[in-house]
Each structure stands twice: as structure tokens, then as C-alpha cells.
Amino acid sequence: MIVKQNINIVNALIRITLGLTVVAWSTAKIVKRPWRDSYLILTMLGAMKVAEGILRFCPLTLLYEKNKQNESKQSHADSCNASRDSMEGIFEEQMI
């Protein structure tokens, strides 16, 4: 699978910065309370944001863009069907 970049450089830098901040904060908390699983989950989420920033690829952005394209295709198909149906009505009226 070829990964195409779908976020810009400013967005990537923000993700890297915030991701490293979350990773640093949560690992500091893990040292004090290692029995808490929430800090481990936050560490993984922060690392995921750092990886998204480095690769400049966000899977949620990709899903959003694909959904938006499918909606526009669907609305275009609906409008084509509506115009076709209205044209059929016009032709039926002319034949009567």
C-alpha cells in the first residue's frame, strides 16, 4: 500500500509537537503510578500523533476525504436521476 501525504507541513509540525508533549507527560506519570493503564494508552496515542506528523499521513483524514467524495458522487447521481425523471415527465406531457 502506497501512503500518500494528506496533511500539510504546519499540521504535521503541530502533531509532532503535541504528540511529544503527551508522550513526555504520560511517561512521567507512568514512572509515579505504573499500575495505571490510562497513562500507557495516552503514551501510545501521543506516539501515534508523532508518527502521523513524521509521515504526514492521517488515516482519519483519509476516511473523511473518501466519505466526502462518496457523498458528492451520490448527490451528483441523485441530481442526474432527478433531472432524468423530470425530463421523462416533460416528454410524457408532450406526447399526450
Whole-angstrom Cα distance, residue 90 to residue 39? 66
pLDDT for the residue numbered 79: 66
pLDDT for the residue numbered 89: 57
Task: Kindly state the cell numbers that stand for 34.
Answer: 505504573
Residues in the chain, how many?
A: 96
What would the mean pLDDT of 54-64 be, rounded to a whole number? 93
Confidence of residue 20 (pLDDT cuts 50, 70, 90): very high
Domains of the chain by residue range: 7-57, 58-96
pLDDT for the residue numbered 2: 77
* Under 8 Å between Cβ of 18 and 50: no
Mean pLDDT for all residues in the chain: 85
